Chain A
Amino acid sequence: MKKLGYIIMPFVIAFCFAIGLYKYLEKADAQMLATKDVRGIFSDTVSLVKDKGIYANDYWAKQGDILMMGSSELSHSTIQHPVYFFNTQRSKNMVVPIGRAYTQSLQDASLVGSLDNSIKDKKVVLLISMQWFMEKNGVTPHHFQTRFSPVLFYGFLDNPKISRENKLEYVERVKYLLSKKPGEFKPELLYANYYTKNSTGDKVVKILLKPYFKARKFAVELKDLGITYRKLKEANNLSEPLKKEKEVNWSYERKLADKMARDRVGKNPYLIDKGYYRRYLKGKEKVFENRYGYVNLLKSKEFDDLGLFLDVCKDLDVEPVVVVIPAKGQFYTKTGITKDERFSYYNKVEQLVENKGFKYIDLRNKEDEKYYLRDIMHLGTKGWVDVCEKLYKEFDQ
């Protein structure tokens, strides 16, 4: 009996330590989120706190900050970026850019679906790129796994406001995308596999595995708190809370964007950044000729994922503003994705969004506008000014 005590005791102590650490981190993170200057985290384009966490995003959503979900366009390639307009004390709320290249609709659905339901009037923006729809099967398993977050996964499936139907659709997609080399996400693949099964035997296994998944969920939440803690520790203290001090002068910003673009672009047939043109396009006309002729934008699985994102928003009374970023028409026509095909894609996204009753910002007429894009797919100086101005007005900043 005494021997058994020596074996059990370390586990009891470790259990108590883990609970204590969780409570401590929860309290410390909340305190630091209120007193630290988090703009550095907002500007970080590869932040685990924003892209894969719940705790800090909940805090910012509660404060009324705008959660802007997108992909590679959120990298800081031009001064004109949402953080420049919204996080410089010129708006009522700040912007939290979430996502990086290959963060697509399904990952965004996980994030929205795992936010705290008690937060009212969440401000959500989804920036959609046409490149998401170029793959027939939508996001690839490899890219999805690089963006996958277990804490969001469990948060989504535990959310009582999301319908069973949407959860099953989500689980089926995650199951498929994690099935090849799940690596550290084997527990989530196992959870997804059993989530949809309902035979008596499977129910018994589910009951037996319940404590394990409870522990796993606790562990990934602890990790979210721990990573947030580390990031917040590095941030500077704020002497006083940040408040709006002045307005954005949009006319000045437009002129500045135009001037900066002229320097960046120089002379090239696409009117995009000269560095990008030289590196990827110059002298490669033949390489790109009809290169994407096989692509059928309208049949991509990404539409199902986008539909799921919108359905989840509907379940949770979140009203996202969807911005469809235009593609460089002049380039994509040459690659075999014609204007008709692109406009059919814009129409399909628009219908999908509007049928759910959400707002849609249509930018298709900007496809070939001078300096709107900095390359063939990312917003440039003028593009960001335009999009941010529209959002600034939309959210009454």
Chain B
Amino acid sequence: MFVKNFIKNLISNKLLLASIVMTICLVLAIVTFAFAPFKELPFVYREF
């Protein structure tokens, strides 16, 4: 019941919905940035 009401309120309040989506995106971006290495350029072994 509580979840249902919450979702109903959320859908009716577009600003809150946008704000929550934005928060989730920012948090995911931080987590991805923190755990993924900078792209490494291909390693080329030069024999001499």
Seen from chain B, the residues whose Cβ lies within 8 Å of a Cβ on chain A are 15-16, 18-20, 22-23, 26-27, 30-31, 33-41, 43, 45-48
Contact = CB atoms under 8 A, between A and B. Distances in A.
Nearest to B34: A226
Contacts of A2: 15
B30 A21 contact: yes
Nearest to A75: B45
A10 B33 contact: no
B34 A9 contact: no
Contacts, number: 70
Contacts of B22: 10
B15 A227 contact: no
Contacts of B19: 6-7, 9-10
A205 interface: no
DSSP class of B's interface residues: helix, strand, loop or mixed? helix
B43 A146 contact: yes
Contact of A17 (B18, B27, B45, B48): B27
Given A6-B15, A13-B27, A17-B27, A184 B38 contact: yes
Contacts of B48: 131, 280, 376
Given A10-B19, A222-B30, A227-B35, 10 more contacts: A6-B19, A10-B20, A14-B23, A14-B30, A25-B34, A142-B41, A183-B41, A185-B38, A223-B37, A227-B37
Nearest to B25: A10
Contacts of A230: 35
Contact of A9 (B23, B36, B41): B23
A108 B41 CA distance: 19
A185 B35 CA distance: 17
Contacts of A226: 33-35
**4 closest Cβ contacts across the A-B interface?**
A226-B34, A14-B26, A10-B23, A10-B22
Contacts of A46: 43
Contact of B30 (A17, A185, A225): A17
B45 to A, nearest CB: 6
A223 B30 contact: no
A142 B43 CA distance: 10
Nearest to A219: B33
A48 interface: yes
Contacts of A133: none
Contacts of B39: 183-184
A229 B36 CA distance: 11
Given A6-B16, A280-B47, A225 B23 contact: no
B19 to A, nearest CB: 4
Say which size band chain A's interface belongs to: 35 or more
A145 interface: yes
A21 B30 CA distance: 9
Interface string A181-205: 0011100000000000000000000
B34 to A, nearest CB: 4
Nearest to B47: A280
A101 interface: yes
Contacts of B38: 150, 184-185, 223
B26 A10 contact: yes
Nearest to A335: B48
Contacts of A72: 45
A146 B40 contact: yes
A2 B40 CA distance: 44
A286 interface: no
Interface string A114-153: 0000000000000000010000000000100110001000
A11 B26 contact: yes
A3 interface: yes
Interface in A226-248: 226-227, 229-230
A305 to B, nearest CB: 18
B34 A222 contact: yes
